[in-house]
Copies of this chain bind each other. A is one copy, B any other.
Amino acid sequence: VAKKRVTSADVARLSGVSQATVSYVMNDDPRQSISPETKQRVLEVAAALGYEPSAAARTLRSGTSRLVLVVLQFEQVDPNIALTLNALGRELTSHGYTLVWHVGRLGALREPHPSATLTPAVVLTFGDTLPQTERFLARFGVPIVSLGTGEGRGRVGALQVGYLFERGLRQLVFVAPERPDLQGFALSHGEGVRAACAERGLEPPRFLTLPMAREGAREALKGFLEVHPRPLGLCCYNDEVAFAALAGLADHRVRVPEDVAVIGCDDIPLAQLAQPPLTTVAFAGEASRALVLENILAAARDGAVQPAADVPPAVVVRGSA
């Protein structure tokens, strides 16, 4: 059922002009002057035929596509990241670019980077690009724009410690998730917590890894609570982990925040619906989005690689700490 594509040649023939003219009209080429009548006619024919220029041919010729690829090396997509990317996608659309996502870990496997199949104008990452991938992209002149870095996570640790310290907590814990796709970020977050504790003369934070299954979280917490005296302050890697902590604590009838204070990170939409409402750290994404957009467009134009946008996190105080 091979429907033959409508090509610019078809449009040219039916409107009685040359292919070149069609191209000029379709792209509003400023270096050419086309009479209004011709322009009109070409556009009408194109619309009537449902002509849509072939992205492949266009990319082949111009050497670059109008695609922006964001690589999310996670198993799931953080709601806030989804929201931000959505907004970014809309803005890019209005600039003629299309934002697509590639979700999932890549690396160890022998497969080519998705950008090989996509030839995007720009690749967006979260500062978690492997060196080999960077080289790969550099070879093809695909600029990388970073949306965030491990550094951000480090600062989160400091904020969490600072807040809990002010609340009078002296015994702190870094709670990490089991998810392997997050270990890199978790490491730098944990490091931030450790450094902040040292800075305040607190003893080094304990490290606790919590499964996301309720029973698992309960068990892991049980052993931990038996060994460590309260009050305790839990610096959670993110809000999901904080939910697991909250659930486990509830199962052990531990009072939050009196006996154990819990602070998360990311401020996911469900955070405010936790029991008690989750105190957490939020990234003020809005402020920097314009900057990110600028970076992307600049990179798409002249391949300039900009530094990562700076997103300052801040504590959102609710009931859990």
Contacts and interface: CB of A to CB of B under 8 A. Distances in A.
Nearest to A248: B273
- So how many copies of this chain end up in the complex? 2
Contacts of A317: none
A30 B114 CA distance: 26
Given A269-B212, A303-B1, A56 B67 contact: no
Nearest to A67: B117
A140 B52 contact: yes
Contact of A76 (B66, B83, B90): B83
Interface string A252-273: 0000000000000000011011
A149 to B, nearest CB: 23
Nearest to A2: B141
Q: Which of A83, A100, A214 has the most CB of B within 10 A?
A: A100
A86 B103 contact: yes
B140 A3 contact: yes
A281 interface: no
Given A75-B83, A83-B75, A246-B273, A101 B98 contact: no
Contacts of A18: none
B83 A98 contact: no
Given A75-B82, A247-B273, A104 B119 contact: no
A119 B275 contact: no
Interface size band for A: 35 or more
Contacts of A2: 141
Given A212-B269, A214-B272, A141 B1 contact: yes
A185 interface: no
Contacts of A83: 75-76
A213 B318 CA distance: 13
Interface stretch (A32-40, A57-65, A150-158, A306-314): A57-65
Interface of A: 1-3, 5, 50, 52, 54-57, 59-60, 65-67, 69, 75-77, 79, 82-83, 85-86, 89-90, 93, 98-104, 109, 111-112, 114, 116-119, 139-141, 212-214, 217, 240, 243-244, 246-247, 250, 269-270, 272-275, 277, 303
